[in-house]
Amino acid sequence: MSKSIPVLVFLAFLLCAFAGSTPASPPSETNRILDLVEKMEAAFKEVKDYTCDVEQVFYQDGAENQRYRFKYYFKREKKIRVDFHYPYSSLSFFYDGGDEVIAVPFRGLGVLKFHLSIDNPKLQTMAGQRFNQTDMGYFIRFLSENLTKIPQKEEEFEEEGDRVNFWIRALDYINGKSVERYRIFISKENWLPLRIERYSLEMKPLEETAIKNYTVNAHLKDELFIP
């Protein structure tokens, strides 16, 4: 009989332990977004180059104001080329990591070139981005920084098939003062953005960017980035 007492004591201890424990809480949406952005950062470290097709729409007072379509090329460290298709069908920009961007108004006619400062306001998007702030590596860092310094609410996080979408709050590009809302769609294939929507806090649309036809690590030649 006495030999059974330790067993009973052990069983009682287990019952008390389980009865007193609190079930683990499911991860918050903000934590899931942080985990996803960390995954994006890790994946982008393996990206040596990429190309994609981009359509970008800017809004003013809630109505479409400007629309652009272009092919984007990126190669470390940090070479960028943009070939516009709309509204400038033959305009290209070239950047090799320095302090200037070379504009070629007529592709195939490299004799005509314009050297512009990287800080030239004419090169900035309506969101205030400079030319050297347009690659996905910069955008991923932008997400990571704002997730930690801007108070986030329990924003939506949703998985649908081969992509994930989520909302965050972030400072504006231009002055870094106004808080805005972003809805971002991410591909599970390469952990790169497929769509970026930017809104005011009042949910007035400011910008939409759709990205498709990614090619990653295609061994782009340096000559591609020389006008």
What is the model's pTM? 0.84
Is the link from the previous residue into 87 a cis peptide, with omega within 30 of 0? yes
Instruction: Check: CB of residue 26 under 8 Å from CB of residue 191.
Output: no
Determine the pLDDT at residue 96.
94
Instruction: Check: CB of residue 136 under 8 Å from CB of residue 41.
Output: no
**Is pLDDT above 70 for 30?**
no
Instruction: Check: CB of residue 52 under 8 Å from CB of residue 213.
Output: yes
DSSP 181-197: EEEEEEETTT--EEEEE
Instruction: Classify 159 as helix, strand or coil.
Output: strand
Determine the pLDDT at residue 29.
61
12: pLDDT confidence band, cut at 50, 70 and 90? very low
pLDDT above 90 coverage of the chain, percent: 69
Instruction: Check: CB of residue 75 under 8 Å from CB of residue 225.
Output: yes
28 to 120, 156, 185, 191: CA distances (angstroms): 42, 10, 19, 21
Beta carbons within 8 Å of 41's beta carbon, 6+ residues apart:
140, 141, 144
Helix residue ranges, H only, 45-135: none
Highest mean pLDDT among 63-67, 120-124, 151-155, 170-174: 63-67
59/101 Cα distance (integer angstroms): 26
9: pLDDT confidence band, cut at 50, 70 and 90? very low
7/2 Cα distance (integer angstroms): 10
Q: What is the mean pLDDT of residues 137-159?
A: 89
Q: What is the mean pLDDT of residues 44-51?
A: 97
Summarize pLDDT for 108-147 with one digit per residue, the tens: 776 799 999 999 998 888 788 899 999 999 999 999 999 9
Determine the pLDDT at residue 199.
96
2: pLDDT confidence band, cut at 50, 70 and 90? very low
Determine the pLDDT at residue 21.
40
In the chain the domains, ranked by start, together with CATH numbers, are 28-225 (2.50.20.10)
Q: What is the mean pLDDT of residues 33-39?
A: 94
- The per-residue pLDDT of the chain, averaged, comes to 86
